[in-house]
Amino acid sequence: MSSIHHRTATVDGYEIFYREAGPADAPAIVLLHGYPTSSFMFRELIPLLADDYHVIAPDHLGFGHSDAPRVGEFTYTFDALAELTSGLLDQLGLDRYALYVQDYGAPIGWRLALKHPERISALVTQNGNGYEDGFVESFWTDVWAYGANPGPDTEPAVRAALSVDAIRWQYVHGVPDPSLVSPDTWEHDFALVSREGNDEVQLALFRDYQNNRPLYPLLHEFLRTSEVPVLAVWGRNDEIFGPAGARAFARDAKDAEVHLVNGGHFLLESHLDVVAGYLRGFLGRVLG
């Protein structure tokens, strides 16, 4: 089994933490995590890929072990996070790679693909949204309201997402056997978002999320014109990004492979072997 290295790189003056494994000359895959976690979410997937692939899994700025400057010191937007990720990949010399995106990793990954479409060898989305179809209205209504009119009337509803109960819900909701999900996951994430000042970081990204939606038509055009291979493996019981968001990729991606699994938002915690099986089969076919 390949060793996993835990490294940092300085990008635009900020320390970005990343996990790296596998042969440097193997096909590369970049794993981009979601809210409110970090590359920690890929801790068990990386060893299942690293024998055959060069795996890179960074922590976004403000998450995990990467720097987390205060909101007054850095303007947190998805554009800015994507630029830092792009800078990291440039430093690592990655000019061709597959992307695995989940949750926040999706809008960051879409920006990478639109900036350098020639670099993308394949796209894997695991509950990483790219279509209006994917938004579950009951979850997103409060986020849209806060983005449109941030203030004391709209903030409490989204601030509640920072609580340990809300984070636990993201992990166990829709999972047929919640005992498969380790409490270490939500306790780990809650501890990190509870760091002094990190609440404002997360609120800034909640406000900015609405600016991801105008990218979707550009993403769809990229999927049609590039014919990049796409795998959508999705927890079908996710009430943040619903299964319609997975099926939608088949509208634009040529021969998109879509699998709906009986799980929730953080599918790797309950169905690691299922996801890894689909992923390794897909990568083996499209990357050789």
Name the token pair of 63: 């998450």
Q: Is pLDDT at 288 greater than 80 in this prediction?
A: no
* pTM of the predicted protein model: 0.98
Q: Would you say 111 and 82 are in contact if contact means Cβ atoms under 8 Å apart?
A: yes
Q: What is the three-state SS of 141-193?
A: HHHHHHHHCCCCCCHHHHHHHHCHHHHHHHHHCCCCCHHHCCHHHHHHHHHHH
* Cβ neighbour number for residue 218 with a 10 Å cutoff: 13
Summarised one tens digit per residue, pLDDT across range 59-88 is: 999 999 999 999 999 999 999 999 999 999
If residue 139 lies in a helix (H) or strand (E), which one and from where to where? helix 137-148
φ, ψ (nearest 5 deg) of residue 180: -75, -15
Amino acid at 81: L
Q: List 7's β-bridge partners, or say none.
A: 18
Q: Which residue has the tokens 């600016």?
A: 211
- Using only C-alpha atoms, the chain has a radius of gyration, in whole angstroms, of 18
Task: Just list the catalytic residues.
Answer: 265
Summarised one tens digit per residue, pLDDT across range 230-246 is: 999 999 999 999 999 99
